[in-house]
Structure 1
Amino acid sequence: MNFRRVLIPLLLLVLGAHQAAAQVSVDLRFGKSSFLHGEPIPITVSLTNLTGRDLKFQGTTESAWIDFIVNSTRGVPLTAVSKPAFGAVVIPAGKTVAKTVDLASLYSFRELGNFSVYSIVRLPGQGHRGYQSRRHLFTVSSAKPHWSQVVGVPGKPGKTHEYRLIQFTGDTKNQLYAQVADAKTGAVIRTHHLGEVLMFREPTVTIDGDLTMHVLYLITPTFWGHARINPEGKFLGRDLYKPTNAGDPKLAKNTAGKVITVGGILYDAKAEAEARAKERKASDRPAFIYE
C-alpha cells in the first residue's frame, strides 16, 4: 500500500478545513448582560463566510453544527438540557447569517451568579473540532418581589402558583417583571419582562375572576402599560394607555368581574400614525392655497 498517496490527500483535507475555519468569523451578542432568574436569555450568533465559496453547515444526529458552552465563574461547566434546533444553513461567500437562541431553554440556571458563554461552530468534515467565538460574561440574579400573591390553578385541584411583581435594576434603568412560581417548591415557572418602569408612580396589581394577574405601571411620563399573565405563566398581552386631564388611569373590576383600565385613553399606534400623516399632508400645502 502506498502510504504517501493516502497521507497527502488526508493532510490537504485537514489543512483545507483549518483554512476554512480561519476564514469564518463567529460573533456572539447579548442585548443586555443582566437577567432575572426565569426570564429568557436570548443570544445571537452571527457567522460571516470569508472563504470565497459557499459553505453549508449541517449537523448530524450525534453532533450539532453549533454548540454553546456555558461555565460558571468558578469554571464549572453547565450541563445542557437540550441542543439548539438549528437546521442546515448555507452561507454564500461573503455573506453573514445570524441566528438567535434562548440559553435559558438550553441550560437550567438553578444556581444564580455570574456565567461565561462561547460558541463552537463546526464546519463540514471537522467532527468535534470547530471554530470558537470569544467569551461573553452575563449574570443571572434573583430579586425580592415588590408584590406577591398565591392563587389556585384552574383545572388543577390542589395546585397553587405564586404571582410575583419584581422591580429589577438590571444593567441600567429600572425594569419591571411579572413572575409565576410554584407556591410549594418556589421553583420559577416563567418570568416575563414587562419593560422599563418609572417608580414615582407605584405599579398596581389586580386579580380577576379567572385568576389572571393584571399589572398597571408607568412606562414614561405619558404612557402606562396594562399587562396580563395567567396562572400557568402565559403572557396574555399588554395595552398602552395615555392619561387624561382628569388624572392617571386605574384598574377596576366591571360588573362581570373582568378587570379593565379606566380613566385613560387606549393608545392606538396605527390610528395615531395615520393622523400624523394627515397633518403632514395638510402642512405640506403651499400657504397661498385656501379652501
Structure 2
Amino acid sequence: MGVRGTVTRRFGADGSRALRSRWRTTTMAAGWAFPADWPLAEVDEVCRAVLEERDPSAELHRLGAARAEAGAGLAETLLDLAALHAVLAEPAGATGVVSPCVDATPSRMLRSTALGWGDVMSSRAADCAAEDPLTGLATPAYLRTRLREVYAEARAAGRQDHVLVLVALDLSRTSGWSRVVAMTLLAGALKEVFDGGETVAALGSSVACVLLRRDRHLARALTNLRVLTADRLAVDPHVAPTGPVRVRLEELPPTCEDAVAMVAGLGR
C-alpha cells in the first residue's frame, strides 16, 4: 500500500510520532471520552507495524485487548480504529479534519481489534460469574473466594479442617456435545452426594472438585460418588466411554496462594 512512504512524505522522517499524533487528534475530534486513557504502548506498536508495511493484525488484537482492559467500550474502540484508518487513507498533503467511519474500515482490521477486545471481556465474564451456566457448578473464581475464606477461618482456629476432593473424567474417547453431557451428569452426582453446603466447583472441561470439611463420613461419600457417577454415565451410550470416574483426596497446602495456584494447575 506504500503507507510508510506516504506518511513519511506527509509528516517527515519521524513518521511514527506524526502518525500517532494525527491518529490521536482524529480520535479526540470524533468524541473519545477520556483523552488521558488514549495513549497506550499498543498504539505505538500498531504505528510501527503500519509504517513498516507489515500486517498489523497481531498488534491490533493486542490494542483491542488493551482498550478492553482500560475500560473502553467496543463502539469506542472501533471508532478509534476507524480514526486510524481514516488517517491512513488521507491523500498526501491533507491537513484538515478527517471524519472516521467504522463502516469504511477494512473487515480484517475490525475483526482483529474486536477479537482482542472480546477475548478480554469474555475472560472477565467467566471470572465474575459464580456458577457455570451449563453444569451448575461453581466457577473457579468462586472457588478462589471460598479458599480465601477457608484459610482465614483456619488462621483463626489454628488448624486446617478442609480438604479438596478432586474428580476427573477421561473424555479422550468422547467429543463435542458428549463432553458437556458427561460433565453435566457428573455435576448432578456431585451435588447429590455433597448437598450439605460444600463448595462444588468446576476446574476445567473434565475436572471438578469439592471443598469440604474432613469428617468420618468422607470415605463413604467418596464411595457413593463413584457408584452414582458410574450409574449416571452408563445411562447415556454417548458418554459411557468416559470410563470410571477418578476420585482422590488432596490436602490443602500451607498458604492460600499455594492453594489457588494448585487448583489452577489441576484444571488444565
TM (norm. structure 2) is: 0.31
Q: Could you say which structure has the greater relative contact order, defined with CA pairs below 8 angstroms and 6 or more residues apart? A: 2
Between Structure 1 and Structure 2, the one with more helix by share is: 2
Between Structure 1 and Structure 2, the one with more strand by share is: 1
